[in-house]
Amino acid sequence: MVTNLPTEAKVRLAKYSEAKTPEEKLRALQEFLSVVPKHKGTENLVYWAKRRMAELREEIEERKSKKVGGGGPSFFIEKEGAAQIVILGMTLSGKSSILSRLTNAKPYISDTPYNTKFPVPGMLTYEDIQFQLVEAPAVVKGLSDGAIWWGSRVLGLARNSDALILVVDLSNNPSEQLETIINELNNAGIYTTQPKGYVVIEKSKAYQGVKVVNLGKLINCTVDDIKKLLESYRIYNALVKLYGEVTLDDVERSIFENITYKPAIVLANKYDLVYNKDVDEIVKELRPVCRDLPIFIVSAKTGFGIRELPKNMFKILNIIRVYTKEPNSKSPSPKPLILKSNSTVADALKHLREELLQYFKYARIWGPSAKYPGERVGLEHVLMDGDIIEIHTRIKAV
């Protein structure tokens, strides 16, 4: 996609980056479209600009309707519990039915399409923690084009979530459904398979120049090329982090697109309607579309396969539960700390209270990561799900 844009187009894009309000941003993009040459090399950029403009128009509209006292149902669902997991799928695939099987929510289930028009949250209990599941309005072909009013809102929900559940209807061309969902997500820069390489750009004057942190490998370009590219977009102060195998195209794309990776599972629903089909055959059909995503065959109607789901959702979230214990107490706190997998004792301390770090003496660990019960460890010790931690400080025990 590296485009060698004419200066006047780059100036407009720089104006867009610097703009504060959605109205200013929209104007800058309109101007950009009026000067950008239209050819194969600029195709992706033009597509991005149009989609972004649609999102901005929606944002402006939404704000206006709120001012008029609109209120009504909202697309913003406040996170609750250990993680927010968004349920995506085409209409009638059984999203509401799955939500009502797994959570306390009572969504309206019906055989008329596009029933769920706003997100519906529900809480799911897994052992001693809870997850929030949110059913999103249906995915349709073209969701990411900006033409469908709920398109960017649904994609926004997915972008803000911790993980995704992709639901397909086994009685209605499931591989095509799955392909549509994944395509629409990818078009919006949301990936369910970790991309080979990706770039994160943080723009801030604080960086005093363009700093490149190379955590991967640069393909067909140098750090200098990256600096020149950013300068051509008038980005003079930024931190550029490179992960995996990265090309100059990846860098350019990430100047505009907000690329993110979300863990996901596939639910192949309505198994009761195709019970004569072999499970292996179903997986074989879906596998090429979703690559290495876990696939679960279920029936929201009969409950088949539903019981296994909470445990498997927990697995893909890459989180661990750690229980704190007072030095003189026998039992740990019933409510765990929720940390990212591979977190250390230092991470746990930061999560509890940052200032504990400076008073830290040692910790004792019971559970999966301890070599023996009560092992004495330092800040760098890597914790595991189910660990109990007792923190000793120089001032007072916590």
Ligand X SMILES: Nc1nc2c(ncn2[C@@H]2O[C@H](COP(=O)(O)OP(=O)(O)OP(=O)(O)O)[C@@H](O)[C@H]2O)c(=O)[nH]1
For residues 116 and 152, which CB has a smaller minimum distance to ligand X in the complex?
Answer: 116
- Alpha-carbon torsion (151, 157, 161, 165), positive or negative: negative
**154 is a contact residue toward ligand X (CB under 6 A):** no
Query: Can you give 254-277 as a three-state secondary structure string?
Result: HHHCCCEECCEEEEEECHHHHCCC
**110 is a contact residue toward ligand X (CB under 6 A):** yes
Q: How far is the CB of 186 from ligand X (least distance, A)?
A: 21
**306 is a contact residue toward ligand X (CB under 6 A):** no
Quick check: helix, strand or coil at residue 75?
coil
- Alpha-carbon torsion (181, 186, 188, 192), positive or negative: positive
Region binding ligand X by CB under 6 A among candidate stretches 106-114, 213-221, 339-347, 384-392? 106-114
When binding is defined by CB under 6 A, the residue of 109, 219, 379, 384 that contacts ligand X is: 109
Token look-up 């003496």 returns: 361
Q: How far is the CB of 102 from ligand X (least distance, A)?
A: 12
Q: How far is the CB of 317 from Mg ion (least distance, A)?
A: 23
Through-space distance between the first and last CA atoms of the chain, rounded to whole angstroms: 54
When binding is defined by CB under 6 A, the residue of 17, 42, 44, 115 that contacts ligand X is: 115
Q: How far is the CB of 250 from ligand X (least distance, A)?
A: 35
For residues 109 and 273, which CB has a smaller minimum distance to Mg ion in the complex?
Answer: 109
- Residue 388 pairs in a beta bridge with 323, 366
Region binding ligand X by CB under 6 A among candidate stretches 35-43, 85-93, 147-155, 245-253? 85-93
For residues 117 and 340, which CB has a smaller minimum distance to ligand X in the complex?
Answer: 117
Q: How far is the CB of 268 from Mg ion (least distance, A)?
A: 17
Q: Which of ligand X, Mg ion, none is residue 211 near (CB under 5 to 8 Å by kind)?
A: none
Cα torsion at 110, 112, 113, 117 (round to 10°)? -60
For residues 9 and 295, which CB has a smaller minimum distance to ligand X in the complex?
Answer: 295
Q: How far is the CB of 135 from ligand X (least distance, A)?
A: 6
- What character string, x for contact with ligand X (CB under 6 A) and - otherwise, covers 251-280? ------------------xx-xx-------
Please work out, in degrees rounded to the nearest 5, the angle formed at the alpha carbon of residue 201 by the alpha carbons of 198 and 206: 155
In the chain, how many H helices and how many E strands?
Answer: 12, 17
CB 229 within 8 A of CB 252: yes
CB 239 within 8 A of CB 269: no
Q: Which long-range contacts (CB under 8 A, 24 or more apart) does 8-11 make?
A: 8/35, 9/35, 9/36, 9/37, 10/232, 10/233, 10/234, 11/234
Quick check: helix, strand or coil at residue 71?
coil
Region binding ligand X by CB under 6 A among candidate stretches 89-97, 228-236, 258-266, 373-381? 89-97
Q: How far is the CB of 297 from ligand X (least distance, A)?
A: 10
**94 is a contact residue toward ligand X (CB under 6 A):** yes
Q: Which of ligand X, Mg ion, none is residue 102 near (CB under 5 to 8 Å by kind)?
A: none
When binding is defined by CB under 6 A, the residue of 116, 144, 180, 324 that contacts ligand X is: 116
When binding is defined by CB under 5 A, the residue of 84, 116, 132, 180 that contacts Mg ion is: 116
- Crossing angle for the helix pair 151-160 and 43-67, nearest 10 degrees? 90
Q: How far is the CB of 309 from ligand X (least distance, A)?
A: 13
- Residue 393 pairs in a beta bridge with 360
Size of the site for Mg ion (CB under 5 A): 4
CA distance linking residue 156 with residue 135, whole number of Å: 13
Binding residues (CB under 6 A) for ligand X: these are 89, 91-97, 109-111, 113-116, 138, 269-270, 272-273, 299-301
